[in-house]
Structure 1
Amino acid sequence: MTLEAVEAVEAVEALTEASPERYRALVTLAAGTGLRQGEALGLTVDRIDFLRRQLTVDRQLVTMPDRAPYLAPPKTQASVRVVPLPTVVVDALAVHLATWPAAEFVFTTELGDPIRRTAFSAAVWRPAVRRAGLSGVTMHSLRHFYASLLIRHGESVKTVQARLGHASAAETLDTYSHLWPDSDDRTRAAVDSVFGRVADSVRTDATH
């Protein structure tokens, strides 16, 4: 399940409700910004600008066996970006930080440690997916959900590329071209809008 359909809104809401309260804002963040899992787990308080309603993505959390989690540059240089925050995400983050104040990482374990992906998946994510009555949904599915929302609301390839931090527009098209509306009707409408009056004039002349 890629969470690309309109019905996916209900799935995201169900997943949020099924998640422990401590991690609900994380689901909202991922669905409302398209951040990769490492980018979301590596988000620190100083990268959120509540006044401008935006956050800066310039690091990701890396977790490896037998080593403490650490911050590293994101996937590519194109992944460094500023992401606008919709109100629903701003509100969720504000409530989360008011409930679980953070000095550094926005999202942590109950012990205040950075979240390891494997532990999070086993203890939090997969149980929440089951409780929500879903299957095959990963955090990356929320990234697809975000992209599909932008496309359905008319955002350009370049805008979607920038928001997701893709290295090129070709990468964005390779992944999401099937979601952009078919251009046939727009092509017809564009030509008709220009030549429509000419055709009307020709038809009028032919009747006289």
Structure 2
Amino acid sequence: MSYLQWIIKGMAMGAADVVPGVSGGTLAFILGIYERLLNAISAVDLQAVKLLGQGRFKALWRHIDGTFLLCLLTGILCSIFSLASVISWLLEHRPVPVWAFFNGLILTALPVLLTAVNWSIRRAVLFLLGAFFALGISMLAAVELQPANWMFFVAGAVAICAMILPGISGSFILLLLGMYAPVILAIRELQFGVLLLFAAGCIIGLLSFTHFLKWFTAGVVMMPP
């Protein structure tokens, strides 16, 4: 039953990641799996490389919480590939109900995120700075361009950092970079070369940023909702 729950939660994260303005990290926090997800990804470290080199695959699988990550990734990919066309159509023809639904999820997550922090003056100042920064980003105009192949790699590395952070939308970052439509088109048309470049960027960005994020949040108490 846990496996099915992880897949369903991954599908919820994948659906959120497709929509600009909604963070898969926020959904992960609401669903109570954010800390475990962060720990599992950050477990891909030198110890994991050592276990791989020694051929201790079972120990490696346990070290990175492989079953959890596999179930979550399965749900995310199923959701992204199945909903990319649907979400694109809804955003074009029924944008208000879609935005209303996901805005409700964001507003629901806000008190959960706020109560999970041990507040101090410094953290309150950082919170305000982050709010102003997010507001400034939301006012930026989206770029329109014809991307080169290497741009998909860079876009993946940048967007995944936002996707793993609660409150920041990786899809919205893609939209600002002018890469949202090309990525969605690549998913819909199964452009595997482009998708591999994007996935490679996501993997590099995720592995590097997760270690920094875990260190940065070490002093913050994150409690499941």
Under a length normalisation based on structure 2, what TM-score does the superposition of the two structures give? Answer: 0.27
Structure of greater Rg: 1
Query: Which protein, 1 or 2, shows the higher relative CO under an 8 Å CA cutoff with sep ≥ 6?
Result: 2
Report the structure, 1 or 2, having the larger strand content.
Answer: 1
Under a length normalisation based on structure 1, what TM-score does the superposition of the two structures give? Answer: 0.28
Report the structure, 1 or 2, having the larger helix content.
Answer: 2
